[in-house]
Amino acid sequence: MLEKLKDHFKEVELSCSKCGKVMEEGERFSVTLIMPAEKQMPVGQLDKMLAKRAVNITCGECSGR
């Protein structure tokens, strides 16, 4: 039970879908999401929600290409 609780608070690294670069604090990036139904609306920490729900994440360099 304690291990499951620890995993819940573990930080999630967001990485670019094209080049694999890990997003850092203060960095600009683009995300593509599919609008979920109201009952399935994601709630929680932004990084965890994006890691779970994003179709793709691109860093500022790759999104400008």
Domain tally for the chain? 1
Q: Dump pLDDT digits (tens) for 25-54.
A: 899 999 999 888 888 888 888 888 888 888
Q: How far apart are CA 18 and CA 8, in angstroms?
A: 27
Say which residue, 1 or 14, is predicted with more confidence: 14
Q: Is residue 7 domain-resident? A: no
pLDDT at position 39, please?
85
Q: Is the pTM of this model over 0.75?
A: no
Q: Is residue 24 domain-resident? A: yes
pLDDT at position 42, please?
81
Q: Is residue 38 domain-resident? A: yes
Q: Is residue 17 domain-resident? A: yes
Q: Is residue 1 domain-resident? A: no
Q: Is residue 2 domain-resident? A: no
The mean per-residue pLDDT over the stretch 54-65 comes to: 88
Q: Is residue 5 domain-resident? A: no
Q: Does residue 8 surpass a pLDDT of 70?
A: no
Q: Domain span at residue 18? A: 12-63
